[in-house]
Structure 1
Amino acid sequence: MKTRTVRRSQLVPHTIDGRTELVLDTYEVAVPVPPRDWDRTVLTTVTTAAALIGAACIVWSTASIGDLLTRVTVAPAAYAAAAVFDLVWLSCMALEWLARYDQARAALPRRAGYVALAIAMAAVGTHGWIADQAAIGIVGAAVSGLAKTMWTVVLRHHAKPLDPRTQQWVDKQRAEAGGRLAMVAVRRELTRAEALVEAERLAISGDSADAPEAPPETPEPEENAPEVEAEARPYGPMTITDAVRTALSTNITDPEAVLRYVRKVADANAKEESVTRTLRMLRKTS
């Protein structure tokens, strides 16, 4: 059995002149080396080779299709568009990789990848046919086909399909998590809508959202109260004007007392300026 030397450390007591302290002691120990995982090594090598094949495929297809498109457009635009052909099916392969535990979700990117591959191969073959090199066009198109085949085999090896019961459990968990995620956006939308409704209400009523709340009233001693506030009318809500008129009719003339009465029977957030202006107007008309 193979071993390897590992340096480790531990705290040990060390005494000098009768005083003991814990100090760090370093030592070496031989630990067994696990056998090499050749399966993982081979899989990593194959995956790396597939990545290199994909990169070479992109270079070849881009050069071939780019040369085809330069016949009708400038070279930068032609080669930029040519890179799309292989990048599309490679992106579909990446999505298929992400869905390797869910065959139902992997089916769509797999089919889309085959369609994109067929279009890329047709474009490469068309380039060879237009250049009077049909054989080279066929061989060039086969490069993309081989790269796609290689990646399909690698993905199938990495894929770990779930049994039907486990797949149903995963789907339910995914749906529940997706529902909670969706509710975040829904609550944000509802909050924004409520804020717009409140802003519209404040704009129509003329009230200010930042108006300070009325301070809690301290009941005055009965002998010091200038007057007794009138009770609220037993019918329907009152407007500020009606509340001020009622206060005046019950001999409540002090502006602060009128304001307290209005906030009590009409609008708890009534502004002092509005009440004062209404009070002056009713006094002039009386």
Structure 2
Amino acid sequence: MRTRTRTVHVPGTHTVNGITAPVIRTQQITEPVPPRDWDAIALRAVTGLVVALTLFAVAWSTSSIARLLGGGPIGYLAALVFDAAWIITLGMAYLVRHRPDRRRTVDWVGWVLVAVTVATLAVEGWQTGGPDRAAAGAAVSLIAKALWWSLDRVTRAPLADLDRQWLAARLSQLATRRALVVMELQVAREEARVAALTGSAPPDPDRPRGSTQVDLDPPQVDPAPALESTPARPGPATTAQVSPPQVDPRSTRQVDPTPTPGRPDLHAVPDQVDPDNLDRARQVVADLRRDQVAPSTEQIRKRMGIGRDRARALWLAIQTEEADPARRTA
């Protein structure tokens, strides 16, 4: 068995006068020489010869078809399209090498392009030198393309039926995920476009899916401030007595029983809301205060997934109940 000596660099440490520092040590190792991979050598040689013959065939077919098209720079560029299109099909066939259904379509297109190129070369040879030149000129391009087809058949890795089905299922799952991402991006762009046209804010991402409520009006400020539900802290001189809850006097202002045109009757709001939604709104307000978040119309709207008008009515009803506890018990 043949061996060879190879130099390797090994990290280590070196100590001088009690001080250690990292160093790189150089070592010589002896290892056996692996045998030649004649399969890999033969594949590289065959691939190189096929590429060289293909370049000769492309040059021949381009010059021949350019003469048929009248010559000139434009004629050579047009003639180059014939072989360039076929080379593109080779790349596409490699991309779909593990998808038999798509590979079949690409192979069919490739053979159609080969037939068009061979027929064009035959016509050019017939006009310039007769049937002999027509057959020989067409054979040059056909041989190069047949070699590529043979090389692909030799190097293509076959897949068992179950493996092919598993691979198809995985590719389908990945394609579905990619399609979902693309559709989400399209929906986000359309929602932003609609919001820009209507002058409203984009839809709230916290809103539950399936909700058909669309907010077309701009955000508004709550007409009544939040009430303090925490009792006032007693003073030092009245530790034995607890003062009643301090209520914002603005929230208990008297309202004219005759509603003003264009202005809703705030005290009539609790009678107009759904009792079930009102119970849910009370729980939401309690959760917000437990999380130390100031309740508001926007917070109730986000938590319950309802429109701004309904959330405002529920919040006003809760504020009215807190300002007048007897109303809630009634």
The alpha carbon displacement at 1:2 in A equals 2.1
State how far apart, in whole Å, the 1-side matches of 2:104 and 2:44 are.
25
More displaced 10-residue stretch of structure 1: 180-189 or 92-101: 92-101
**CA distance in 2 between partners of 1:58 and 1:95 (Å):** 19
- Work out whether 1:142 is the aligned partner of 2:139: yes
* Pair 1:40 & 2:40 matched: yes
Paired amino acid for 1:40? A
2:250 counterpart SS class: coil
DSSP 3-state at the match of 1:25: strand
Match of 1:3 in 2: 3
2:244 is the counterpart of 1:219: no
Instruction: Write out per-residue CA displacement over residues 64-114 of structure 1, whole angstroms, 9 at most, x where no aligned residue.
Output: 0010011xxx62222111111122222222222233333332211111111
**Is residue 2–residue 33 contact of structure 2 (8 Å, CA) maintained in 1?**
yes
* Letter matched to residue 225 of structure 2: E
Deviations 1:24-58 (A, max 9, x none): 32121112221110110110111111112222111
CA distance in 2, matches of 1:226, 1:213: 15
Cα displacement (A) at 1:170: 0.4
Distance in structure 2 (CA, Å) of the matches to 1:47 and 1:212: 72
1:263-278 superposed matches below 5 A: none
**Matched residue, 1:276:** none
Q: CA deviation at 1:3?
A: 2.1
Find the aligned partners of 1:27 and 1:201 in 2 and give their Cα distance.
74
User: Sequence identity of aligned pairs in percent?
Assistant: 29
Look up the equivalent residue of 1:219 and give its one-letter code: L
Q: Which residue of 2 aligns with 1:116?
A: 113
Q: How does 1:162-181 map to 2 (within 5 A)?
A: 162-181=159-178
SS in 2 for 1:225: helix
- CA displacement, residues 175-213 of structure 1 (integer Å, 9 cap, x when unaligned): 11011111111112222232333344437x9955xx686
| Distance (whole Å) between structure 2 residues aligned to residue 9 and residue 64 of structure 1 | 58
Q: Does 1:127 align with 2:124?
A: yes
- What is the TM-score with the length of structure 1 in the denominator? 0.71
- Distance in structure 2 (CA, Å) of the matches to 1:123 and 1:200: 57
CA RMSD of aligned residues (A): 3.5
Map of 1:96-107 to 2, 5 A cutoff? 96-107=93-104
Structure 1 residues 12 and 131 mapped into 2: Cα distance closer, same or farther (>3 Å)?
Answer: closer
Deviations 1:145-170 (A, max 9, x none): 10011001110111112111000000
CA contact (8 A) 1:53 1:147 kept: yes
The residue aligned with 1:75 is: 72
**Conserved in 2, the CA contact under 8 Å of 1:97 and 1:159?**
no
Instruction: Return closer, same or farther for 1:140/1:186 CA change in 2, 3 Å cut-off.
Output: same
Q: Give, in whole Å, the separation in 1 of the partners of 2:157 and 2:57.
A: 27
Unaligned runs of 5+ in 2: 201-214, 229-245, 267-296, 301-307, 313-330
2: distance between equivalents of 1:201 and 1:223? 37
* Counterpart amino acid of residue 50 in structure 1: V
What residue in structure 1 maps to residue 91 of structure 2?
Answer: 94
Is 1:57 aligned with 2:20? no
Residues 128 and 138, structure 1, Cα contact 8 Å, conserved in 2? yes
* TM-score, normalisation: structure 2: 0.63
When the two structures are aligned, how many residues end up with a matched partner? 242
Deviation at residue 266 of structure 1 after TM alignment: 5.5
Q: Distance in 2 between matches of 1:224 and 1:119?
A: 91
Alpha-carbon distance, 1:229 to partner:
6.6
The answer for the alignment partner of 1:25 in structure 2 is 25
- Structure 1 residue runs of 5 or longer lacking an equivalent are 232-240, 248-261, 270-286
More divergent stretch after superposition (104-113 vs 91-100) = 91-100
- The Cα of 1:11 is off from its aligned counterpart by 4.4
CA change 1:79–1:26 in 2 (3 A) is same
What does residue 281 of structure 1 align with? none
Kept after mapping to 1: 8 A contact 2:3/2:31:
yes
